[in-house]
Amino acid sequence: MIEGLSHVTFVCRDIERMGEILTGVLGAREVYASGEASHSVAPEKFFLAGDVWIAVVEGESLAARTYNHVAFKVRDEDLDGCLDRIRALGLDVKPPRPRVAGEGRSIYFHDDDNHLFELHTGTLAERLEAYATLAEAGR
């Protein structure tokens, strides 16, 4: 049975640039760099963002942008500062999708390799409550 999320891996042309994004936007800290040693399929770095292990492996960018994404939980009061850091790194910020009142706020942005990230202030419980309220109101 699954115990939880082990890690998230991003394949990137430039693992140094992805490191700047992870440390600069998510406040992640680098905990490993393979350097010349390769124990995996290519040079790699590991980061911790909160309790989330993020692996970055050197390789080809995604061919296209899609809505497939990873969402990281952030506090509402930190969201505007995150947006400032995202823009300072020259990343492509996407308009947010329409929201239901009470489900939280989000920032969506693409990195240089077409990965889509979301920074989200809400929780699953809040979203389900917001959706239930809509259902009760017949919407």
Tell me the average confidence (pLDDT) per consecutive run of 10 residues in the chain, 139 residues long: 91 96 96 83 92 95 95 94 96 87 91 96 89 76
Q: What is the pLDDT of residue 136?
A: 72
CATH code of the domain containing 69: 3.10.180.10
- Choose the final residue of a domain: 43, 60, 77: 60
Same domain, 86 and 107: yes
Instruction: Select from 69, 67, 93, 68 the least CA-distant residue to 80.
Output: 93
The number of folded domains in the chain is 2
Q: Are 57 and 10 in contact (CB under 8 A)?
A: yes
Domain co-membership, 77 together with 139: yes
Question: Do residues 48 and 66 share a domain?
Answer: no
What distance in Å separates the CA atoms of residue 59 and residue 113, rounded to the nearest whole number?
10
- Are 26 and 72 in contact by the 8 Å Cβ rule? The answer is yes
Residues 66 and 129 in one domain: yes
pLDDT reported for residue 97: 81
What are residue 49's DSSP bridge partners?
Answer: 52
Say whether both 89 and 127 belong to one domain: yes
Q: What does the pLDDT read at residue 139? A: 65
pTM: 0.88
Report pLDDT for 36: 76
Active site residues: 44
What pairing do the DSSP bridges indicate for beta strands 116-120 and 106-110? antiparallel
Residue (of 10, 21, 124, 123) closest to 82 by Cα position: 21
Statement to judge: residues 136 and 69 lie in one domain: yes
Residue 1 is predicted with a pLDDT of: 87
Write out the residue range of the structural domain in which residue 94 sits: 61-139
- The residues with which 108 forms a beta bridge, in sequence order, are 94, 118
Q: How many whole angstroms from its chain centre is CA 4?
A: 17
CA dist list (Å): 129 to 79, 104, 136, 137: 22, 11, 10, 12
